[in-house]
Amino acid sequence: MDEVKRIVLNQETDEDRVTSISLRPERLSDFIGQKDLVANIRVAVDAAKQRQEPLEHMLFSGPPGLGKTSLAHIISHEMNSRITVTSGPAIERAGDFIGILTNLEAGDILFIDEIHRMSKTVEEFLYPAMESFKIDFVVDKGPYAKTINFNLKPFTLIGATTRSGLLASPLRDRFGIFHHLDFYEPADLAKIIMNAARKLGVTLDNEAAALIAARARGTPRIAIRLLKRSRDFAQVETGKSAIEPKIVSLAMERLKIDSQGLDEFDRKILRVILENYNGGPVGIEALSATLNEESDTIADVVEPYLLKIGFLRRTSRGREVTEKARQHLLIP
């Protein structure tokens, strides 16, 4: 699969990182969607501020592109604290992690994206740091070995994961607050699109926003990406920055994104299961081999949305395509 060409890929790209800085909300009151989650975060933040204590360690889980990183930055603004951002795969050595931890000031927030991909060696340093704000490490070897203790300033760790089941139990148990982010409703996505359009200097009406929202797979990151692609088509086709419904329809047709937000790769997966495996069930490894694609990519990037809209079903024997998907693809 060519990830560059997949517009509806919900994993973050360099373009998304640049855009998110300017479009990211700064306060909880500006965050659209996930109402219950935002209300619970508000209570935790207000309580911590009243007690003049750091916020409890917090874990966000859910598919990519739903706002886990944005919420971490919002919490740092609400707590008037500094945020240090890193990711699980980026911390390769324990020495690097010790440097990050010792540079944190009291009340600072450490945000670790993809925390489930952190190495076991680094993870073991995190346990005492989270629990008692201490780290111990051994210098030298053999008879000259000695343990050095470092006291850390109280900080808040915010972890984000797309696969909470891969987190080790000792790590998961040290988080005091858990939140799961789910896919957004089209009405909330339409509001996000309208807000992003204002910041980008683009005009569009409610109908155009609704058309984009319907194809955004319940994901704000994809919604903003589709908005920007629609802006490109509007500029080229009409010479204006105004996005009309017919321009959105043209853009989606050219990008081969259908009314459910599926692209060519999504439809290919469904067709392979229908045509090669009689609709399923089929195991993820067999499907991966047939498509010549990593099984993790299928499980993490493609499946969650297909499961959400009822086009795919997981059983003990493997994946099955539903009648709803068969009708959408017009396959008898």
Q: Is 140 a catalytic residue?
A: no
Could you report the per-residue pLDDT of 1-29, keeping only the tens digit for each?
A: 444 355 655 555 555 555 556 788 889 99
Could you report the per-residue pLDDT of 87-122, keeping only the tens digit for each?
A: 988 888 877 788 888 889 999 999 999 999 888 888
Q: Is 113 a catalytic residue?
A: yes
Minimum mean pLDDT range among 13-17, 136-140, 279-283, 288-292: 13-17
Q: Per the residue annotation, which of 6, 172, 217, 221 is the catalytic one? A: 221
Q: Is 68 a catalytic residue?
A: yes
How far apart (Å, rounded) are the C-alpha atoms in residues 121 and 175?
Answer: 19
Q: What count of other Cβ atoms lies within 10 Å of the Cβ of residue 115?
A: 28
What is the band of 318 on the pLDDT scale with cuts at 50, 70, 90? confident
Q: What percent of the chain has pLDDT over 90?
A: 44
Contact 25, 67 (CB under 8 A): no
**Greatest pairwise CA separation for the chain in angstroms:** 77
How far apart (Å, rounded) are the C-alpha atoms in residues 56 and 288?
Answer: 40
Across the chain, mean pLDDT equals 86
Q: Per the residue annotation, which of 19, 161, 162, 219 is the catalytic one? A: 162
pLDDT over 80 (residue 47): yes
DSSP 326: H
Q: What is the mean pLDDT of residues 140-147?
A: 68
Q: Identity (one letter) of the amino acid at 112?
A: I
Q: Per the residue annotation, which of 6, 16, 19, 68 is the catalytic one? A: 68
Domains delineated in the chain: 34-180 (3.40.50.300), 186-255 (1.10.8.60), 264-328 (1.10.10.10)
Q: Is 162 a catalytic residue?
A: yes
